């Protein structure tokens, strides 16, 4: 700008510059040309910034409302609406710089290089961010679900853009990076409205099979929150090393899984004791050939 002022004032020899006082030098400035080249673009840039700021806010709010109507997660809605707003503001800023005759292409190259460098530096963080966006879009679980992810189990407390927060049954807080959550198997125990309670039990080989099945089935039917479809079932699994192994299966609402599992285990034990059917524990019988004991003594 100073070079332009010197040019607008007209070339002067060293002797003329010495002889000219500041007032004369100020009067020799071509103010019309200065206003046309710098004043009008500056005024236009200010107006463009104000209008761009307003338009960016309006478009950001419109984008947020559209995402909410599409039932996108609230966290992702806020992030995307802000991303749209700031993206428009960046374009407006580049347009304002271009009004002064600055080559915007060089700025775009600098921004691209800076973005590449930042991407390399925050590779893990950006991976968690993209995984968080995928979790919010595809919604394999929601807040309040009990899940197992990245080897950790708990109730989902919060789904953020970078990490997922779980509360364990013993009230511990677990923070898992979203890249570990989305990149591994996710077990959602609360997704379906019903779950099956399985209780395994072994009975003595001396017990009558039909009687044992009847008692175990009665224990399943005694559950308060059992579903009739599918009905409770008893499955003979295998003949183990020291017992006949059964599986008692009862379908219940997902919210009643743990209370029913506790009640079913208790009911099975009481009914088998009442019928005098033993629940054997692993044991080993050792036989000594005749004369071995006396020889060892």
pLDDT tens track for 29-77:
666 666 666 677 778 888 888 998 999 889 988 888 887 787 776 767 7
10 Å Cβ neighbour count for 16?
Answer: 12
**Inter-helix orientation angle 123-138/104-121, to 10°:** 90
Which pTM was predicted?
A: 0.60
- Residue 106: phi and psi, rounded to 5, are -65, -35
Residue 279 DSSP SS3: coil
pLDDT at 185 over 50: yes
- CATH assignment of 140-188? 2.30.30.60
Per the structure block, which two tokens stand in for 258?
Answer: 């743990």
Task: Check residue 18 and give its pLDDT.
Answer: 45
Per the structure block, which two tokens stand in for 58?
Answer: 């309006």
Contacts made by residues 279-286, CB under 8 angstroms, sequence distance 24+: 279/201, 279/202, 279/203, 279/204, 279/243, 280/202, 280/203, 280/204, 280/205, 280/242, 280/243, 281/242, 282/241, 282/242, 283/242
> Residue ranges of the domains in the chain?
26-119, 140-188, 194-274
Please give the residue that has the higher pLDDT: either 23 or 206: 206
Which of these CATH numbers, 3.50.50.60, 3.10.180.10, 3.30.70.100, 3.10.450.50, describes 194-274?
Answer: 3.30.70.100
- Burial pattern 179-216, b for ≥16 Cβ within 10 A else e, equals bbbbeeebeeebeeeebebebebbbeeebeeeebbebb
Which of these CATH numbers, 3.50.50.60, 2.40.37.10, 1.10.287.1260, 1.10.3720.10, describes 26-119?
Answer: 1.10.287.1260
Strand-pairing partners, residue 148, are 153, 187
Average pLDDT over residues 91-117: 74
């Amino acid at each position: 700008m100073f070079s332009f002022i010197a040019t607008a004032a007209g070339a002067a020899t060293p002797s003329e510059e010495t002889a000219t006082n500041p007032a004369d030098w100020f009067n020799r400035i071509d103010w019309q040309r200065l206003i046309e080249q710098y004043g009008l673009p500056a005024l236009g840039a200010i107006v463009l910034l104000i209008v761009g700021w307003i338009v960016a806010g309006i478009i950001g709010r419109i984008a947020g409302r559209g995402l909410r109507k599409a039932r996108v997660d609230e966290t992702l809605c806020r992030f995307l609406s802000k991303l749209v707003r700031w993206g428009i503001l960046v374009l407006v800023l580049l347009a304002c710089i271009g009004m002064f005759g600055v080559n915007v292409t060089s700025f775009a190259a600098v921004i691209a290089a800076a973005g590449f460098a930042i991407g390399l530096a925050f590779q893990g963080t950006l991976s968690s961010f993209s995984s968080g966006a995928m979790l919010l879009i595809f919604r394999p679980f929601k807040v309040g679900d009990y899940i197992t992810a990245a080897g950790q189990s708990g109730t989902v407390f919060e789904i953020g853009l970078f990490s997922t927060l779980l509360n364990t049954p013993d009230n511990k807080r677990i923070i898992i990076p979203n890249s570990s959550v989305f990149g591994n198997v996710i077990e959602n125990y609360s997704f379906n409205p019903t779950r099956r309670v399985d209780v395994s039990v072994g009975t003595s080989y001396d017990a009558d099979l039909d009687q044992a099945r009847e008692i175990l089935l009665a224990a399943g039917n005694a559950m308060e929150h059992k579903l009739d479809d599918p009905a409770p079932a008893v499955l003979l699994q295998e003949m183990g090393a020291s017992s006949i192994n059964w599986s008692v299966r009862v379908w219940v609402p997902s919210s009643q899984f743990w209370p029913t599992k506790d009640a079913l285990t208790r009911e099975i034990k009481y009914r088998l004791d009442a019928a005098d059917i033993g629940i054997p524990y692993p044991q080993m019988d050792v036989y000594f050939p005749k004369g071995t004991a006396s020889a060892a003594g």
